[in-house]
Chain A
Amino acid sequence: MSSDPTLGYFESLHVDALGVVRLEWVGGLRITGDIAEQAMAAVDELNGPARRPMIVMGSAPTTRAAREVFGRECSVTRIAMVGRSAVDRTIANFSLFVDPPAVPTRFFTDEAAALDWLLDDRARG
């Protein structure tokens, strides 16, 4: 997994200069339970012993099994989902309200606002 951290599911997965995990799904992906497991493991591996906030760029429809996986605790402290289209909002709403994640999660249309919310949380510890 460490040889290909994107697993073919991510446009990118890395920790940015602000200490935020940045994840961008590839276009046209449908996230199954299996993909969700691998993604969560990749994020945990990236974080190592650290716990960080995460920003998710773009959206992909999730299956029930995937939302169950995202409902478990992992190495991220907060999740900001950033999208601009109506489709992004619909997917985010499903994630937020049908199977809420284990950590505070919000949907943003503006990346800067998303980072503010993530870092503000970190500043508060």
Chain B
Amino acid sequence: MTAHAGEDLARRLDELAGFVVELAAGRLDARLEPSHQSDEIDAIVVGLNMLAEELQGLTHDLEGRVVERTRELADAHAALERLAHSDPLTGLANRTLLHERLREVERASAVPAVLVLDLDGFKAVNDSFGHEVGDALLVAVAERLRAVVRETDTVARLGGDEFAILVHDATPEQALDIAERIRTVLAAPVVVQGRTCWVSASVGVRLGTRPGGATDDFLRDADTAMYHAKARSRGGVSVFAPAMRREAQARTRLADELRSALFTGQLVVLYQPIVDLETDHVVAVEALTRWRHPERGFLTPDTFLSVAEDTGLITALDLWVLETAAAQVARWRADVLGDAPFTVHVNVSPVELRAPRFVEDVVDCTRRHGLAPQDVTVEITEHRLLGDDALTREALEGLRAAGVGVAIDDFGTGSSSLGYARRAFVDEVKIDRSLVSDLDVDEQQMRITTAILVMAHAFDLVPIAEGVQTAGEADALRRIGCRFGQGYYWSPPVTATDLELRLRRQRA
């Protein structure tokens, strides 16, 4: 080897060593240009260049994967956050997020308002059209609610058909304006999956009073106000007042007491005769519940029926009355009545009509007590029929097919039941006491009641006049062709023992 060649080799090896150090230091973009000799040193240089590029590529891939995984983790975290804070069906905030936002409002020293609303008529939609339509309705309602609030406000779904709106900072007028807008946007029907759904909302409003005040009870208070609104009329708005809390507490207490009353014999059934006006004979009775309250005395259903419905106790209550009355009629049949035509009328909440086993429960009950289905008539209050829905119709048809009678109570005071009456889903109508009172002295009253009787007969329904108090009213009813009556003129609701005495006298 010449001296020059030796120097050249030494230089190339020095460069190679420097290149290796650069790569080892992590500078993977470093490259060394090979000579034109294509010898072993060049082979190492080319190999190292390609290796460096390979490592650079792998590092780039790895970094890309790290970035991707980090993004996926961030996305998953965000999705979990959303899940923890939102309602999966509507995408609205959930209760947790609503509480967080209330805390934020406190910290921001704003004056918030909370609106809680509950859809009236949602259950009917769900029961009639199915849960899929019900869910789509909730989504549509959620969209409408979003449209009535500001960006800073929070719309939440609390569960079921209950929604809440937190108005971040509002005067009472602004909050009430939102409540009004809610009523307006929900007034238009919602068309989901080809079904037209009519809903309204009862709205409870809790107004803030001072900036930064505690908001712990806002949701509960708005809820209380919402129940107050609902109790007054569907689609109403109530602003919370402390008295409502006391009322709500009283209702809660009443519900607890009613629950135990059902199992401790505090409830009793009284029977008010239904009389054949031609013979003055008792041909049926209406079973009426009374509560012997240990402190408050004898309570009529109007004091506890709405509590029973709100708490779901109505199911147990209605069944208990049916059982008690059916057992009593069975005893009367055995002891006094024999085969004489006799029917017991029991009142049933319209909510119960939609219960899946309602018809079977009624029929089972008559069978268990050895009664014919015709011995029982189910009474449904006209103004409380919730509309023309499939489940109600099916229940009425089912009862009639089984032979159980169906009567509409308080007929003539509402309008929803006319459709049921016209389409022969019922057997009897009980003409409301307001149309019977002063019938013998008020000509206008006479004309109206006559017209209702004509209508009842036209629909092939048996009319029973309720609330008859005087002989004059009874005579007037006879004159206009009403065959049956019920009221204090003949008898108030009496105990089974008292009624039995009357039945025995009648038989004698």
Chain A contacts to B: CB under 8 angstroms: 61-64, 85-91, 93-94, 98
Given B43, B47, B57, which contacts A64 in the complex, CB threshold below 8 Å? B57
Q: Which residue on chain A has the smallest CB distance to residue B50?
A: A94
Chain B residues, CB < 8 A from A88: 38
Please report which residues of chain B, range 48-79, place their CB below 8 angstroms from some CB of chain A when the two chains form the complex.
49-50, 53-54, 57
Given A64, A91, A98, which contacts B46 in the complex, CB threshold below 8 Å? A91
CA distance in complex: A89, B49 (Å): 14
Q: Are B38 and A64 in contact (CB under 8 A)?
A: no
Q: Are B43 and A61 in contact (CB under 8 A)?
A: no
The answer to whether residues A90 and B47 also contact, given A85-B38, A85-B39 and a CB cut-off of 8 A, is yes
User: Interface on chain B toward A: helix, strand, loop, or mixed SS?
Assistant: helix
Check: B40 CB closer than 8 A to any chain A CB.
yes
Given B38, B44, B54, which contacts A98 in the complex, CB threshold below 8 Å? B54
CA distance in complex: A87, B38 (Å): 5
CA distance in complex: A59, B46 (Å): 11
Check: B34 CB closer than 8 A to any chain A CB.
yes
Given B40, B49, B54, which contacts A86 in the complex, CB threshold below 8 Å? B40
Count A-B pairs with CB separation below 8 Å: 37
Please report which residues of chain B, range 258-306, place their CB below 8 angstroms from some CB of chain A when the two chains form the complex.
none
**Count of chain B residues with a beta carbon within 8 Å of a chain A beta carbon:** 14
Chain B contacts to A: CB under 8 angstroms: 34, 38-40, 42-44, 46-47, 49-50, 53-54, 57
Expressed in whole angstroms, the minimum distance between the Cβ of B398 and any Cβ of chain A is 71
Q: Which 3 A-B residue pairings sit nearest by Cβ, starting from the closest?
A: A86-B43, A85-B38, A90-B43
Q: Are A64 and B53 in contact (CB under 8 A)?
A: yes
Chain B residues, CB < 8 A from A98: 50, 54
Q: Are B46 and A90 in contact (CB under 8 A)?
A: yes
Candidate in B38, B40, B46, B49 with the most chain A CB atoms within 10 angstroms: B46
Expressed in whole angstroms, the minimum distance between the Cβ of A96 and any Cβ of chain B is 13
Chain A residues, CB < 8 A from B34: 87
Q: Which residue on chain A has the smallest CB distance to residue B38?
A: A85
CA distance in complex: A13, B34 (Å): 26
CA distance in complex: A47, B359 (Å): 83
Candidate in A61, A62, A89 with the most chain B CB atoms within 10 angstroms: A61
Q: Are A89 and B43 in contact (CB under 8 A)?
A: yes
Chain A residues, CB < 8 A from B46: 61, 87, 90-91
Chain B residues, CB < 8 A from A61: 46, 49-50
Q: Are B47 and A94 in contact (CB under 8 A)?
A: yes
Chain B residues, CB < 8 A from A63: 53
Chain A residues, CB < 8 A from B42: 85-87
CA distance in complex: A86, B42 (Å): 8
